[in-house]
Structure 1
Amino acid sequence: MAVGFSGSRHAADEEARAEVDVLNSRLEKTTQLTKKIQACLGRLEDSGKSVREVIGPLNNETKKLQTLTNNVDAVIGAIERLRQPADSKNDEEQTIRMGPEKAGLSNYLGSIKRLDKALSDMRASNLRSTQATAAELQRLVQSGNAQLESHFDKLLRGETPRSIEPLHYVTKQKPFPVLSQDKIARLGLINAYVAGVHRQSGGAALPQESPVAKIYAEIRGPYLSATLANLAAASVNTAKKKNPDAIYRAGTNGIGTYAQAMEGLFVAEYDNICSIFMREDWGPLFQTTCQAALMELGRTLRELNSHVKAHMTTDCYLAYEIVEIISGLSNKLETRTGELKASLAASLKPVRETAKLSLAELLEETKRRVAALQVLPADGAPIPIVSETVQRLQTMVDFLRPISSIMISLGDGGWKSATAAKGGVGDAIPSLASFDIGADGKEIFAHYCADTIDVLMAALEARARVLLQKKAVIGVFLANSVTIVERMVQDSDLKPLLEQRLGVLDQWRKKATSFYTETCKDVSVHLFDVIHTNRGQRPTSGQGAVDSASILKGLSSKDKENIKTKFQAFNASFDDMVARHKQYSMEREVRQMFARDMQHMIEPLYNRFWDRYHEVDKGKGKYVKYDKASIAAVFLSLY
């Protein structure tokens, strides 16, 4: 078994040695192959260097050729572009010469835009060889622009009448006509191009100065003026009245219709402008287009203002109405367009100043008229200036809105002098809020009315003292005036405004009463006795009926004669007072008031005197003319 194991191991070693020999043989072959590959790589590297040395210069030449080729292509392209404007000129010139009407506006605009683009490109190239062509293109573009402006003018004139009848639209409350949509579209296309050219040429700061904007204003401005001309003239003519002394009544002047037409016409024109022009053009062009019509409005208002100043006492109300109407027009146009407020304020300024001054002027006129009176009724009858003054205040109530705004600007009491009236809050047109007749406006107007009444009564009293002199007549005159004022206030729209301010009339009524009852004091003095009787014979107060006979028994003959004289003097003065009372011209309320005052002052004194001394003539009536019943009847007859 040991021999067998040894033999097999020997066989295995032999096999291993054989495999090692095989591997060594392969390794040797690999080494040889590697050397061959290295030799080949060395030869290949040497060949590559040779190729690079050959190809490098060739590659550089190829790049130069490519650059040259690109340059040639660019030159060819530039030449093509330089040839295009000349070709365009030939192609577009026929369209331009046809004009926008024959060629069609869209085609014409396209053609002129292409020419304009070609001209810009040619100018950018700045080649001397193209200068002649550029000049020709420039002339062609200018001709095209001129034809467009001419076409704009023709389209707009064809759509614009010389004028229209504004009353047709005002009376029927119809909107004023605007340009047709077809014309607006064409005009808008032309403006878009021409305005663009204008902006490119440096006119962007003044859009209303563009050629088509000027054309628009030159055509539409006269149309606005001509349409409103008759209404402007009518506003002046309707200010002239058949009776110059008649008080102006609201709505009788044409200024209201004039303003309505102006509003409708201007709003329609603003719509036209907004449809044709760019947003930044709207305001300036609208102002320019309306300028002539606004100047005519200014002239009209100045003429009306002159008329008002010449007839202040009767036509100051026209100034108030104008203030309200033009202020309302300004506010409406401001809301609709955002324009014209300053222009309308400037036009209104003279009338507004006159309206402000009128408040002080009317007070001064009242004083002047009363001071100029040479005669007053001897019977104390009222005079026309009293009712005329209140009528003026009544008429003012119809214009309370503008008067309220004017008075607010003057301030409470600002009418007390012409100097103060010239002040106020600027010249701007009041806003809508200024026409809110709230408590302030009404209170200020009520104060003005009370001042007017007080000024009137003070002037009447001063003149009556000079011309009438007698206190009783003065009292009648003043009381009649107070009564007329109060009655007219109570029977008109002044009542709610002056209810809290009629205290001024109560003061004058008391003063009138004090004048009139001076006569009563003269009569009553005869009823005061200073006769002293024995204390035992003197009746005690509150003892009941007075025994006249007993009192007379205690009097001396001299005292009795004195009593008789007093009765006679009383009778004479009382009869004279009664006769004069009946002769005075008194308003019913005044007659009743004075009769009551006379009775209250005289009857109690007479009854006391009669109770004590009526037995002085033993009922014969020689001295005692009236008993208590008969004198009461006399007083009743005076009511």
Structure 2
Amino acid sequence: MVTPRRSAFAEESAEVEVLFANMEKLKSITKKIQGSLNRLETSGKTVQDSVGPIYGNTQRLQVTNANIDRVIDAIDRIRAPLDQTSREERIIRAGPRKVPLPDYLASIDRTTIALKDLKRSNLRSNQQAVAELNTLIKVGTKQLEDIFREILSEGARQTVDALEYVVKEKPFPRIPENDVSTLRLINTHISASSGQMSETARRDTPTLKWYAEVRGDYLNNSLRNLATASVSTARKVSADEIYKRGTNGIGVYAQGMEGLFVAEYESLCPIFPREEWGMVYTTTCQSSLDEFTKTLRELNGHIQKNLMTDCFLGYEIIDIVSNLSLRLESKTGELKRPIYDSLRLIRETSKASLGKLLEDMRNKVQSLVALPMDGAALPTTVEAMSRLQAMTQYLRPLSSIMTSLGDGGWSSNAAATSNTSLPTMKSFDVGADGKQLFAHYCSDTIDMLLTNLENKGRTLLKGKNLQGVFIANNVAVIDRMIRQSELQPIMGSYSKLDSWRKKGTAMYLEAWREPSTFLLDVQYTNRSGRPHSGGAGSTDSVALIKSLSSKDKDAIKERFKNFNMSFDDLVSRHKTYKMEREVRAQLAREVQTIIEPLYGRFWDRYHEIDKGKGKYVKYDKSQLGGTLAGLA
């Protein structure tokens, strides 16, 4: 048992010894490794101290090299435009007539970009190159300007006959589409080049100036004949002839101007940018507008010299030109104010004409030294009403004028205190009804006319009956000229004319009071045996005559004689008067209404005074009725 145990211990002891031996070797190896690490650390520090500065220098060299590369690239980019200059110069100096326009414009674009890059570099060494490129672009721009103007001049060389286009209602010509495309390209490049070379505003670009000049002359020359015709057609053969609507050429002139201006606006819009349309359009049309204003000034002078007959031309011009300004504004958005301002003189003349017409009418009546002895209506009345009838054709401009004057502003006193173009509070009465104001003006005209005629009739005509016929005739002419014209719907409610008609009738009937007084019978209620006043028949008349005393009979005879004399005289005078048809009928009816009942009653009572011999009783009832009926 002991032997196996010792063997086991011996084996374990041998293993322990082996382990101890391995541990000793491990310690020896560890010491060697530690020594190697120490030596390696020492060597690393030495290497680091040697390599560190070299690495830092290498990094700085890399940054420097990168910067140098970038500088070289920048120099290459800066030199690139300079390298292109000679090639672009050959193209630009050759001109767009020898080089296709797209190539020429592309060359200018490249030169413009090169100039922009050089200016951005801000290098002093490039200043000479900048100056050369500026000069080159100026040469190219000048040549483009010449082409731009040549294209415009070619299209504007042949002016149009505006009258032909208006009469035949043909659309006015525009710049051809091909030319519009070319002009648009050129304008775009010239604007860009001008902006590159200086701080010049776009509105000062040469293309705008050339367009306005060339096309402005084209418009002005195309309208010159219409302007001349407008002035020449204002001349009249008869000095006292009232102007007739449409006989002056101003209407065709306005139509021609509208057609040309709208066509021009449609032509320029594709050429210029949107923000320049209004400026280019206004500048282009300015010379034509100046000529138009000059024409209106000449027409205004003609109107002032012939105000009583040609004020209607002024009204027509206001209507035509006002509508023209509104239509152009709706189609182009421009020119409303300058066109409306061209009316200033004619508008002032037209405003003054309303009072002048009243004053002229009053002066004509007051200057009369004689009136028709037959009571006929005066030509002045016809003339005044003809003017009012003519005015109905110009209600629109007259409404505007009268609204600015205010109700009653046409009177001489109002005109004297408001002889200015400055607006008044009445001018802003937007609720004023122009047609109603015109009706008031007509009423004032008629009232003034009849008042002056009445005063003049009392001075120059003898007898109320003649004066009454005179007034009644003039009233009839006025009434007829109202009813037979456009004045009727405007003055339908004019009631003063009835008052004047009644006044004329009353004046005429006043003369018939004399024969009427001879027919008025005195009733004696305290006498017996007298038949009733309403009685009729020969029996009543015979009985009544028998009951009268000799003195009463003589009085009845005298009254018959006086009636006959007065009645015959009035009938005779009535037939000598010149009466309007409706006046004669109306006055005859009024006389018959008064005389016939009175005479019938008087005749029924006293016709037996001469026992049918006709010595005193000249008319029986039927004869008197026939005579009165013959007055009509």
Q: Are the counterparts in 1 of residues 240 and 309 from structure 2 also a CA contact under 8 Å?
A: yes
Does residue 567 of structure 1 match 2:560?
Answer: yes
Question: Which of 367, 383, 402 is the matching residue for 1:372?
Answer: 367
CA-CA distance at 1:217 after TM superposition = 1.2
Report the residue type matching 2:349 in the other structure.
T
- Distance change >3 Å, CA 366–CA 142, structure 1 → 2: same
Contact kept in structure 1, 2:399 and 2:438, CA below 8 Å: yes
Compared CA separation, residues 166 and 40, structure 1 to 2 (3 A): same
1:293 has 2:288 as partner = yes
Question: Out of 499, 509, 516, which is 1:524 matched to?
Answer: 516
SS in structure 2 of the partner of residue 101 of structure 1: coil
Query: Aligned letter for 1:442?
Result: K
Q: Distance in 1 between matches of 2:7 and 2:503?
A: 172
Task: Give the gaps of 5 or more residues in structure 1.
Answer: none
Deviations 1:290-312 (CA, angstroms, capped at 9, x unpaired): 11110110011111111122222
Residue from 444, 447, 460 that aligns with 2:437 = 444
Q: CA deviation at 1:262?
A: 0.6
- CA positional deviation for 1:452: 2.1
Correspondence list, 1:340-419, <5 A: 340-417=335-412, 418-419=415-416
**Aligned position for 1:279:** 274
- Given the alignment, which residue of 498, 518, 537 partners 2:529? 537
SS in 1 for 2:246: coil
Per the TM alignment, residue 490 of structure 1 is displaced from its structure 2 partner at its CA by 1.9
Shift of 1:79: 3.8
Q: Which amino acid aligns with 1:526?
A: F
- Write the letter of the residue equivalent to 1:373: L
Give me the TM-score of the superposition, normalised by structure 2: 0.90
Cα displacement string for residues 305-349 of structure 1 (whole angstroms, at most 9, x for unaligned residues):
111222222222211111111111111110111111111011111
Counterpart of 1:77 (choices 73, 81, 103) is 73
Question: CA separation in 2, counterparts of 1:595 and 1:12?
Answer: 184
When residues 174 and 420 of structure 1 are mapped into structure 2, their CA distance, relative to the original with a 3 A threshold, is farther
Other-structure match for 2:592: 599
Shift of 1:515: 0.7
1:106 match: 102
Distance change in 2, residues 1:202/1:612 (3 Å): farther
Give the counterpart letter for 2:447 in structure 1.
D
Task: Look up the match of 2:190.
Answer: 194
Whole-angstrom distance in 1 between the partners of 2:485 and 2:131: 83
Q: Is the 8 A contact 2:172 2:259 kept in 1?
A: yes
The amino acid of 2:147's aligned partner reads H
2:81–2:114: 8 Å Cα contact kept in structure 1? Answer: yes
The yes-or-no answer on 1:338 pairing with 2:330 is no
- Within 5 Å, give how 1:205-284 maps onto structure 2: 205=201, 207-284=202-279
Residue number in structure 1 paired with 2:503 = 511
Matched, 1:178 2:171: no
Deviation at 1:532, TM superposition (A): 4.2
Equivalent pair of 2:536/2:605 in contact (CA under 8 Å): no
SS of the residue 1:492 aligns to:
coil
Q: Secondary structure of 1:146's partner? A: helix
What is aligned with 2:164?
168
Partner of 2:62: 66
| Alignment of 1:136 onto 2:129 | no
Distance 1:572 1:124, change over 3 A: same
1:255-275, Cα deviation, whole Å (9 max, x unpaired): 111111111111111122211
Structural mapping, 1:115-134, within 5 Å: 115-134=111-130
Q: Which sits farther off after the overlay, 71-80 or 573-582?
A: 71-80
Q: Is the 8 A contact 1:464 1:474 kept in 2?
A: yes
> What residue number does 2:620 align with?
627
Change (3 A) 1:155 1:260: same
- The Cα of 1:617 is off from its aligned counterpart by 2.7
Amino acid of the structure 2 residue aligned with 1:528:
L
User: Which amino acid letter does the alignment assign opposite residue 380 of structure 1?
Assistant: G
Which amino acid is the alignment partner of residue 597 of structure 2?
A: P
1:611 aligns with 2:607: no
Which deviates more from structure 2 when the two are superposed, residues 472-481 or residues 486-495? 486-495
Q: CA deviation at 1:510?
A: 0.2
Q: C-alpha offsets along residues 325-380 of structure 1, whole Å, 9 cap, x if unaligned? A: 11111111101111111110111111122222222222222112212222211011
Change (3 A) 1:510 1:10: farther
Secondary structure class of the residue paired with 1:72:
helix
Quote the offset at 1:426 in angstroms: 4.9
Q: What is the CA–CA distance in structure 2 between the aligned matches of 1:452 and 1:25, rounded to whole Å? A: 154
- Relative to structure 1, the CA distance from residue 487 to residue 27 in structure 2 (aligned partners, 3 Å threshold; closer, same or farther) is farther
Work out whether residues 356 and 421 of structure 1, in 8 Å CA contact, stay in contact via their aligned partners in 2. no
Of the three residues 485, 489, 493, the one matched with 2:486 is 493
| Structure 2 spans left out of the alignment, 5+ residues | none
Over 3 Å counting, the alpha-carbon distance change for 1:44 and 1:632 in structure 2 is same
Residue pair 2:233, 2:249 contacting (<8 A) in 1 also: yes
Q: Deviations over 1:177-216 (max 9, x none)?
A: 11122221221112112222334566565x4321111111
Q: Is the 8 A contact 1:414 1:420 kept in 2?
A: no
Taking only the aligned residue pairs, the percentage that are identical comes to 50
Structure 1 residue identity aligned to 2:509:
T
Match of 2:570 in 1: 577
Once residues 535 and 108 of structure 1 are traced to their aligned partners in structure 2, the CA distance between those partners, rounded to angstroms, is 132
Counterpart CA distance in 2 for 1:210 and 1:349 is 34
For 2:135, the aligned partner's letter is: R
SS state of the match for residue 304, structure 1?
helix
Give the direction of change, closer, same or farther, for the CA distance of 1:479–1:33 in structure 2 (3 Å limit).
Answer: farther
Measured against aligned partners, the alpha-carbon deviations of 1:386-426 in whole angstroms (never above 9, x if no partner) come to: 22222222222222232233333333333234347757895
What is the deviation of 1:54?
1.4
Q: Which residue of 1 aligns with 2:462?
A: 469
One-letter code aligned to 2:289 = L
Mark the CA change 1:203 to 1:382 in structure 2 (over 3 Å): closer, same or farther: farther
Task: Within 5 Å, give how 1:41-56 maps onto structure 2.
Answer: 41-56=37-52
Name the TM-score, length of structure 1 as normaliser. Answer: 0.89
The number of residues matched between the two structures is 625
Shift of 1:584: 0.8
Deviation at residue 155 of structure 1 after TM alignment: 2.2
CA contact (8 A) 1:410 1:425 kept: no
Deviations 1:96-129, CA, capped at 9 Å, x for gaps: 2101221222222222232233333334444444
Match of 2:315 in 1: 320
Contact 2:536 2:604 (C-alpha < 8 Å) held by counterparts: no
Distance 1:56 1:296 in 2: 92
CA distance in 1: counterparts of 2:624 and 2:112, whole angstroms: 115
The answer to whether the 8 A contact 1:357-1:421 is kept is: no
Q: What CA RMSD, in Å, does the superposition of the two structures yield over aligned residues?
A: 3.2
